[in-house]
Amino acid sequence: MKIKTILFVIICTMWLVACDSTRETINTIEIQELINFEEEKPDTLQLISDVKDIKIIEKTFKKAREFGEVDNQIVPQYKIKLSDGEYYLWIDHTKTGTIANIKSRNMFYNIRASEEFKEAINYKNK
């Protein structure tokens, strides 16, 4: 009986280690200011590598709530590259923002644009 228990614990441990190692770790997030949907503003690329800032940005994006499809012509302020894709970001002085995956830019998601998030992306209220 002891051998079965030990074997079970070893298998479970190996499985947990394997699952954890497949999780992708983001080392850098790229943020670029935009002129229009296709054109980036020169000399505005930011590489966010601070672990705390990366976690804040990831958490904000993961908590995004679907708003729905909108035929939008308003140019986003930023393009953000995460491990799971590229996103447009519309943000202002309020506590909310909007994101859309570049591949489906008419499907909008609302985010909570906390001061912590704004600091993490170096947002400047314009």
Cα(53)–Cα(31) distance, integer angstroms:
12
Question: Does any domain span residue 35?
Answer: yes
The predicted structure's pLDDT at residue 6: 56
Q: What is the DSSP string of 19-87?
A: HHHHSPPP--EEEEEBSSSS-BPTT--EEE--HHHHHHHHHHHHT-EEEEE----PPPSEEEEETTEEE
Question: Does any domain span residue 17?
Answer: no
Summarised one tens digit per residue, pLDDT across range 57-108 is 999 999 999 988 888 888 999 999 998 899 999 999 899 999 999 998 889 9
What's the N-to-C CA distance of the chain in angstroms?
68
Question: Does any domain span residue 99?
Answer: yes
Summarised one tens digit per residue, pLDDT across range 9-62 is 455 455 555 554 444 556 899 999 999 998 999 999 999 999 999 999 999 999
Our count of domains for the chain comes to 1
The predicted structure's pLDDT at residue 4: 54
Question: Which range marks the domain in which residue 74 is found?
Answer: 27-120
Question: Does any domain span residue 37?
Answer: yes
In this predicted structure, the answer to whether residue 118 has a pLDDT above a threshold of 80 is yes
pTM of the model: 0.76
